Chains A and B, each alone.
Chain A
Amino acid sequence: MSTTPSPPTTNACGTCALNNAANLRRLGVDPSGHDLVVALAGNPNTGKSTVFNALTGLRQHVGNWAGKTVDRAEGGFEYHERRYKLVDLPGTYSLLSTSEDEDIARDFLVFGRPDVTAVVVDATRLERDLNLVLQILQITTRVVVAVNLVDEARRHGITVDFRHLSRELGVPAVGMAARRGTGIEDLLDALERVALSPDSFDGRRVVHRNRRLERAVSHLAERITQHVPGVTNPRWVALRLLEGDPALERAVAEGRLRDLVADPAGPRSETVPEEPDA
């Protein structure tokens, strides 16, 4: 799967709104032959679709209101000679309760196993949106937090300390104003870094304050690792099982937990065939 030696930057980017992202080539709806898969998650109305459009060059309908995207949209882009498939997940407030849009988002994160997940958060509603980030970090630590709408936050007199945020979360956090096309380059860099990193990230794990719960989760997680060695997120699986998540109970009963085993080689290499649609 070889790519062209040098990305054509001049003609495509001369007219492009983001000409600082000179290495980005937007591939529209054609994610064929991709090397890496990026999931785009986030709360509703944080600008996921805007980020999606900025990266793929598509014009998916964007609207200033929550709950506009309920389906999974896919597109592609090329960055530093690697082809990425970008999957825009429905905006959800959490992955805890079960509605169809949350299921779509969660199933893709769990079983689609993207190489990296960009979680778009609203800088003006950081606390609320971090709930989702923390939940996603329990499923996967291959995460980049894209703090969007920093321009609006600034107008409200809010500034974000990205270094602190990155340190707390254990994964890169970048600031952006996707509507104006700023911060795309930082996001691309961070996505590439995480997707290609052979090491696993030390994402923030929520320690449960209730000690009995914490013990139960740890114990069950251990048992899961014994049964299916290599599961990336045993603690999350344990928690969901305790909560009685029917989808995961089914996965366990049918022995599909093995699907959750990470590749030993870290990020997926180019030799991996088209992954089955989750």
Chain B
Amino acid sequence: MTRSPILDETDRLRAELPENFRDDIVESLYAEAARISATSLSHAERPARPTLDKLLDRILTHRVWGFLAMGVLLFGVFWFTIAGAAVPSDLLSGLLVEHGHEQLTRLARLLSLPDWMSGLLVDGVYLSTAWVVAVMLPPMAIFFPLFTILEDFGYLPRVAFNLDRLFAKAGAHGKQALTMMMGYGCNAAGVTATRVIDSPRERLIAVITNNFSICNGRWPVLILLGTVFLGQLAPPPLAAVVAAASVTTVAALGVLTALVVSWGLSRTVLRGATSVYSLELPPYRPPRVWRTLYTSLIDRTLKVLRRAVTMAAPAGAVTWLISNITVADASLAAHLVDLLAPLGWLMGLNGIILLAYLVAVPANEIVVPTILMLTMTLGTNLFGAEQGVLLDLGTAETATVLVQAGGWTLLTAVNLMLFTLLHNPCGTTILTIWHETRSATWTAVATLLPVGLGIVVTSLTAAVARWAGWG
């Protein structure tokens, strides 16, 4: 191919230019912008508002107080969510799970549906869907608006600012803190957001660690686990506080993990220089509360709920099927649980939980109902539940079931929360990572590294707990 004469001319001209001509270009541009801006603006004597902004920033981005404020705000949001969701959750559960299930069972009998069909549809599909709606809708309807208000107010970049120093020390790009903030909404979106990072090395680190930002799908699961298992251990007045504290701790652990993994990657396979960048702190803006309530209800809550429901229905069917298909004297589920039991024990969990995670690979949201369903089926028959039927119990009874029928201990609950933080990204996120990196290797790393880490961490806590005699 012959080179274009224009490119030859370009090379010739460039050779004649001074070395720093690129700086000149930028300088001319900036000077012009400064001139136009100065002549177009007029200032009043003393703006009153920035002082409040400055005061807020001095606290919220302070080396010490900033982190304290972060913890208090997060804790407050979780506490509000957990305390506020209890009553509507019970109401919905009574309506959809107890009442609705009873009516549908009656209807199925009236239509004289065959047993397997009413079992699959009513006990499998309907019950798991109803359960997901009842336990997930109220916390989400509270949590997402609160989080959106914080975002609208301009708080998230302050969190990024606080974390920025830590990420720089971990050898990662400062903008990674921003992509993590995005990941707190949805990891797939967080992975896409890493496009703002120029260096491929730092971008890969951000992609791999984004999964440690707890996403929309996992917040409700953690809130639920915290409420059902840890909250119940405390005396009733303190239950919500303990639950909120446990979720805050897991979120903080997520940040810590992201930092440690980033540090590890930037010291080993992804070595290189850290880029410098400037983070812009937007002004605080009074959040528009009603609009926020509306959009976060429609956009976030319903979207996540829809996904959970569409995933819950087939998962309910699968659970019912594996519980009711018998191979060599035991259900398929029982065989699988036996197979997974040793690994489950090692991780301080059990075979049922791991099987539930396998069933729930497409969406983490439905892990808990699946665990309950399997525990009721395979454990000691406590409440006279049928095979593969999801139980209709309140939170207190749920804990009782798991402790008595599932043999759960505090260790199981804690490790399940840890495993919720540290396991593979959901199907959508894995697909996004593939799209963004176009590399099977890095997609595999981003998928397997968190699970591996989850297995190691839970095994360690299990070993320590057993050694100390708690397990």
Task: List residues of chain A with CB under 8 Å of any chain B CB.
Answer: 44-45, 59, 61, 63-68, 70-71, 90, 96-101, 124, 126-128, 130-131, 133-135, 152, 155-161, 164-165, 168-169, 179, 204, 206-210, 212-213, 216, 219-220, 223-224, 227, 238-239, 241-244, 249, 252-253, 255, 257
Contacts and interface: CB of A to CB of B under 8 A. Distances in A.
A248 B182 CA distance: 32
Interface of B: 1, 3-7, 9-10, 13-14, 16-18, 21-22, 24-34, 36-47, 49-50, 151-154, 156-157, 160, 175, 178, 181-182, 185, 192-193, 195-198, 279-280, 282-283, 285, 288, 295, 298-299
Contacts of B151: 63-65
Contacts of B46: 157
Contacts of B152: 63-64
Contacts of B1: 253
B6 A227 contact: yes
A158 B40 contact: no
B17 A212 contact: yes
Contacts of A243: 22, 25
Interface centre among B22, B27, B151, B282 (most CB of A within 10 A): B282
Given A135-B29, A207-B28, 15 more contacts: A65-B157, A65-B160, A71-B192, A100-B198, A130-B32, A130-B36, A134-B33, A160-B40, A160-B41, A209-B24, A213-B24, A213-B25, A223-B6, A238-B10, A257-B6
Interface centre among B17, B27, B45 (most CB of A within 10 A): B17
Given A65-B151, A206-B28, A124 B192 contact: no
A164 B26 contact: no
Interface centre among B10, B195, B299 (most CB of A within 10 A): B10
Contact of B282 (A45, A208, A252): A45
B12 to A, nearest CB: 9
A44 B280 contact: yes
Contacts of A98: 198
B17 A157 contact: no
B32 A65 contact: no
Contacts of A71: 192
B32 A252 contact: no
Given A66-B178, A213-B21, A242-B13, A161 B41 contact: yes
Contacts of A130: 32-33, 36-37
**The 7 nearest A-B residue pairs measured at CB:** A157-B44, A127-B37, A130-B33, A99-B198, A210-B24, A157-B47, A64-B154
Contacts of A101: 195-196
A220 B9 contact: yes
Given A131-B33, A155-B49, A241-B7, A63 B156 contact: yes
Nearest to A173: B40
A30 B103 CA distance: 42
A244 B31 CA distance: 23
B435 to A, nearest CB: 11
A243 B10 CA distance: 9
Contacts of B28: 206-210
Contact of A252 (B4, B178, B285): B4
Contact of B285 (A61, A128, A152): A152
10 contacts: A63-B152, A65-B181, A127-B38, A165-B36, A204-B36, A213-B21, A216-B13, A219-B13, A220-B13, A241-B10
Nearest to A130: B33
Contacts of B25: 96, 208, 213, 239, 243
Contacts of A179: 285, 288
B303 to A, nearest CB: 11
A70 B33 contact: no
B17 A67 contact: no
Contact of A65 (B18, B37, B154): B154
B13 A59 contact: no
